[in-house]
Amino acid sequence: MYICSLFVLNFMEKAQIRVIGISENKVSSEFLLLLLGEIEGERKFPILIGKTEANAISMKLHGIEPPRPLIYNVMLDCASRANVSLQEAMVYKIEKEIFYTKLIWRKEGETFETEARISDGIALAIYAKRPIFIDNQLLNQLCQHLAQSKNKMTEKTTVEDMNETELTDLLQKCIDNEDYEQAAKIRDAIEQCKNTNK
């Protein structure tokens, strides 16, 4: 099963990506926005990740050493003691808004893979100083979806015509597209809608 799956991954056209930045998610305080972008190109896309994973990634990127080992340090240390090394992280599909990521490992010349959440996969790759890839076709789809969402936001429909639920959905799309100026206007409209309904 591993060999077959690795065969498919090896023949995927992939793009190497990196973390561009981490920002606040103004809709939900439980998650942060992680902006990912390709190294050799302009394509980029955001994902929502938990604060714990975001903080771990941020610390490593800024060269901050925690007073005690984090789970990613522990996992890589255990792998190293077993003569297993991480080779790469690969984001290969999205289904029902869930990203699927594989970690490719090597032990004594043999390669195998494990599934991981995208946030953990990215964090482990960063801690191991290994590359992060995404299927090129998937990256194109994500960018097209973001562009379409942005175009919909520029249509003639005004925020005055929307209810609170629609405004909240639109706010999240603005944040995902990093259109913070428009997001601020929509947030004001949501507050006005709440005051009207009191």
For the stretch 98-119, pLDDT in tens is 899 999 999 999 999 999 999 9
CA 127 to chain centre: 16
Q: Is residue 37 part of a domain?
A: yes
So what's the pLDDT on residue 159?
Answer: 59
Q: Is residue 100 part of a domain?
A: yes
So what's the pLDDT on residue 102?
Answer: 97
- C-alpha span between 54 and 30 (Å, rounded): 11
Number of domains in the chain: 2
Confidence of residue 179 (pLDDT cuts 50, 70, 90): low
Task: Note whether 121 and 162 are same-domain residues.
Answer: no
Q: Is residue 142 part of a domain?
A: no
Q: Is residue 109 part of a domain?
A: yes
191: three-class secondary structure by DSSP? helix
Q: Is residue 117 part of a domain?
A: yes
The domain in which residue 95 lies consists of 2-136
Task: Note whether 98 and 177 are same-domain residues.
Answer: no
Q: Can you read off the two tokens belonging to residue 194?
A: 């709440």
pLDDT tens for 128-148 read: 999 999 999 999 999 887 776
Q: Is residue 147 part of a domain?
A: no
Task: Note whether 117 and 172 are same-domain residues.
Answer: no
Confidence of residue 177 (pLDDT cuts 50, 70, 90): low
Amino acid symbol at 149: S
Task: Note whether 102 and 163 are same-domain residues.
Answer: no
- Residue range 55-83: mean pLDDT, rounded: 95
Q: What burial letters (b/e) apply to 35-49, b meaning 16+ CB within 10 Å?
A: bbbbeeeebbbbbbb
Q: Helices marked H in 17-163 — which ranges? A: 51-61, 71-81, 118-128, 136-153
Task: Note whether 24 and 92 are same-domain residues.
Answer: yes
Give the residue, 30 or 8, on which the prediction is more confident: 30
Greatest alpha-carbon span in the chain: 67
Task: Note whether 111 and 165 are same-domain residues.
Answer: no
Q: Is residue 151 part of a domain?
A: no
Task: Note whether 132 and 162 are same-domain residues.
Answer: no
So what's the pLDDT on residue 128?
Answer: 97
Task: Note whether 126 and 188 are same-domain residues.
Answer: no
**What is the pTM for the complete model shown?**
0.71
Q: Which residue has the tokens 């699927």?
A: 100
- Residue range 46-65: mean pLDDT, rounded: 93
DSSP state of 160: G
For residue 33, pLDDT beyond 80: yes
**What is the arrangement of strands in the sheet containing 98-107, beginning at the earlier edge strand?**
44-50, 31-38, 14-24, 132-135, 84-95, 98-107, 110-116
